[in-house]
Amino acid sequence: MQETAAPCLAHALLRMRPTGLLRGLLLVCGSAIVGAACGPLQQPEAGSAPARPVTTPTRPGRQPAAVAPATVVVPVAQAHKLALLLPLSGAQRAAGEAIRDGFLAAYLADPAGSERPEVLILDEASPGPAAAYQAALGAGADALLGPLLKESVAEVARVAGPLPWLALNNLDTPAAASNPYQFALTPEDEARAVAERAAAQGQLRALALAPDSDWGRRLLGAFTAALEERGGTVVAYRFYDPAMRDYTALIQRLLLLDESRTRQRELVANLGVSLEFEPRRRDDLDCIFLAANPVSGRLLWPQLRFLNAGDLPIYATSAIYQPGESGGVDRDGIMFTDAPAVVGSDPRASALRATLASRWPPGAAGQMRFYAMGYDAYVLARTMMAGSSPGLTPVDGLSGGLSLDGNRRLHRRMAWAAFRNGQVVPLEDAPPPAPAGGPDPG
């Protein structure tokens, strides 16, 4: 197969699914390279047949690899075709496309040039992850990246052989035949990062608020365990209903303000005189952990401040912030952890945000975390295909500082930011301790 006969990667992808995200990607990763390799773009005609799975051009003089049976161990040192399984249709299409675009940005920026692997891109959502895996094998793939959805990873694990594999989510139980590396944007990593930061500041007694949901329980559990490992404790916590708007009664009980008022009433009754009184919150707290999205955060933090908790440092995960949103005054002072691509202060992250903001369509900035994941996934997959363990040497990625544990799971060390005067301001990784009078988010 001659290189001139193979479709241009960028053209093939635009024919498969034209998006503003991919056009922005081409500018981020080097439009001069793509422009030199591709002719004028042709948009697909309405009603045209769906595109076939996309591959990168085969290098001259090299034939596609033969189908690798699932029971045969493929020598990773010889791996040269990588299958990428992502949800490119259905409810998670936007996330899948953002990961794909980040992956291709890293692919085109890879200095390896002609030694880059061929890439086969398949939709895990249709006809399904197991079928996509078999299609990848049939096309000669000798390494796998994806799928993204947790249930899809579990389905592939049931049929996968010992093919080198980097899953983009975590398995709840070890796979029987395959043992994938697992790279996920887990909220638990972020909750643990909050506990680590609070403990480093000497803030070992925490109050916690989390939504009454599986997500909220997972975050509270991870935060509690990580804080206890560092000698701290969650003094009090409450699960809240995200559908509510007034949390006064819940916060009063959490801060023991109701007990303060009860003591005041008892004094008045015993003394028989009226007393000037201002309820006092409990004094055994050093900080607050708030698991919330932007809507709940805008409601809870002002009410906490009004009820005398505004002097406590308050921490959150990336869920508190939606990239591209405007206005954060109601969350001023909240410190949160996020991907370096979203809040990092280094020039690379700043340049990426500026470029994507100018090129992505309105509302697409919310997918920036998945774009960063796709970029890092390519770097990890290249390490895996070279015969090394991805993350064995920590990777300074766009989604975080990546490191591998003994269960083949990658964990992220995140960047930090704070809301200040309605804006998101990057923070240093190791700030000085907050003054006794309250937190200093900068």
Same fold, 3-185+358-404 and 187-338+415-427: yes
Mean pLDDT along residues 215-219: 97
Q: How much is the pLDDT for 126? A: 87
Could you report the per-residue pLDDT of 26-43, keeping only the tens digit for each?
333 332 222 222 322 222
Q: How far is CA 125 from CA 90, 133, 256, 308, in A?
A: 7, 12, 49, 49
Could you report the per-residue pLDDT of 98-150, keeping only the tens digit for each?
999 999 999 998 887 668 889 999 999 988 999 999 999 999 998 999 999 99
In which band, very low, low, confident or very high, does the pLDDT at 270 lie, cut at 50, 70 and 90?
low
Q: How many CB atoms lie within 10 A of CB 135?
A: 17
- Give residue limits of the domains in the chain: 3-185+358-404, 187-338+415-427
Q: How much is the pLDDT for 410? A: 92
Mean pLDDT along residues 361-373: 84
Cα pseudo-dihedral 54, 57, 62, 64, rounded to 10: 0
Q: How far is CA 375 from CA 75, 210, 397, in A?
A: 25, 31, 8
Q: How much is the pLDDT for 329? A: 81
Q: How much is the pLDDT for 24? A: 38
In three-state secondary structure terms, 57 is coil
Lowest mean pLDDT among 75-79, 104-108, 227-231, 342-346: 75-79
At the top level of CATH, the class of 187-338+415-427 is alpha beta
Average pLDDT, the chain: 76
Lowest mean pLDDT among 101-105, 338-342, 346-350: 346-350
C-alpha to C-alpha distance for 267 and 278, rounded to whole angstroms: 13
Mean pLDDT along residues 304-308: 90
In which band, very low, low, confident or very high, does the pLDDT at 276 lie, cut at 50, 70 and 90?
low
Q: How much is the pLDDT for 405? A: 87
Q: How much is the pLDDT for 282? A: 86
Q: How much is the pLDDT for 113? A: 67
C-alpha to C-alpha distance for 200 and 260, rounded to whole angstroms: 31
In three-state secondary structure terms, 263 is helix
More confident residue, 320 or 179: 320
CATH architecture of the domain 3-185+358-404 equals: 3-Layer(aba) Sandwich (3.40)
Q: How much is the pLDDT for 45? A: 34
In which band, very low, low, confident or very high, does the pLDDT at 44 lie, cut at 50, 70 and 90?
very low
